[in-house]
Structure 1
């Protein structure tokens, strides 16, 4: 079977990069639809507009309505066509990125992704996660190409809430463990082929960088500064995790995340926070050695990632809730079936309860 590695056409990271957005846009289109939240426009609108001054590219802003669902994608596609835009730019967080990529796909235009946070590995991927209007996971939309440009202005990202970057650590932490499971099962990755050596090396570098730099970066961000450790974590959360998950594959952790979307109590939690707990569930399913848990779980606790269902908002963890999450996680087309052994909803429900107990055990040590 063919091995495949995919990545964005260009990745740019550094302080002040937002000032150059218009220059990059003028190299790819004549009029850009910029998808942004109202709050994002208040914070960065003037800087974005200034970057387009004297450039051969016009722009139109439209505010994101809050959910990456087909009604929002179709609404923005109509706006793009009505304004004769030939470039889509998504600025903000993960659901804006996924929406921008989907709009560009259906409209057949280039797409730029400009995160103002480092909370997920969504920016670099050729993938959009589609939810319904109530925020419940529906499907993965696999795109024929990755973004044309991913731009990380670390000066802006360092000013974002620290919890968002920590959530990105949780999302990125799953990368290596899911990649390892896919390699063991010889699964087909999101890129459409088997895992390459390069993808596995990137996934491992991602994990190693998080463990080495995560706590230092959190402390620096809480002090309001951007240090080398912060730069490394932003790259790990975004580029290393983005290439690693997509070209090596997803397995248990993200499937558990998708299952957790059925619990209203979890809706206030960020994607990466739920993925972090999903990683613990996956390791329970794998019967991972205690030595591995002794590294991973205390790291999650120290950096501020949830390790129990209570920390995810579920005050009473019933058998039925475990089974509801497990049933959705075991959906036929979800990535739990990339694990190197057969899984069923009963196994997963038990693993959820055991992972929750493990989290309490490490919290009480």
Structure 2
């Protein structure tokens, strides 16, 4: 185990590390998405929904978020659904809850579309390489709610099990599968929450899922946790059978864990707590080789998070991991070219 007070700027090669001591689990953070599409660098989806050029959140809709003391969309949309049911039961004719419901969902969609890599720019080879990289683990835990892992699982040659049955409903009792499990700890754009709290997977083509996810049906509240403090995120997680199951699985993880592109920052303290509860013997953590000072700072920061836990930490060069390969990056300039071709 590394000395807590002594940090050098050396980073291991991932392939050597994995060959010697394989990790059974992979925790994915936003850095994995940024390696593919730099526009995923936005700080807040809530801010994007306010500034998008197409139908942004209005002052009325923002007042709803403020009154519920949240910047997450799921509790606000769920609250509006309850209001609509109450109005119907009491024969109250107000259409305001319904109008606000769809206005918020539309602002959310436009905000995400402004930042998400378009499906048409994803090359088959890139999808295949991501799929191959994910399939090397028994379980993939992702806190990203974008569609990259979903696309890789759907279109790669390797088998994955997301614990959803053929009818698109979550089934925590699925057994017998030897495929890589992929669990979305914070939900995903392809998941929705039913009124009873159960989770369902949207069945849609790639060309339409990004543009219209969860907008057509009243029951389809997007199931992903994107903003706020760790405690606020846990409130949403506890309110979903799917999210609470995924969180518990991380807390029970067995074997070494690879942490790729995840800062384990203060807003994700619940993720760190789950890892501490699992207490893996070894954790391999990706670090970008920006500078010696940056590497030493990252080593010190992560070591402080796990101080006194008797967990062996190893740090590897993020660009040596298949998910950090610079060749995966989709040039943002390609989006401008695609838009110009569409106009012509």
So what's the TM-score if we normalise by structure 1? Answer: 0.24
Greater C-alpha radius of gyration: 2
The structure with the largest helix share of the pair is 1
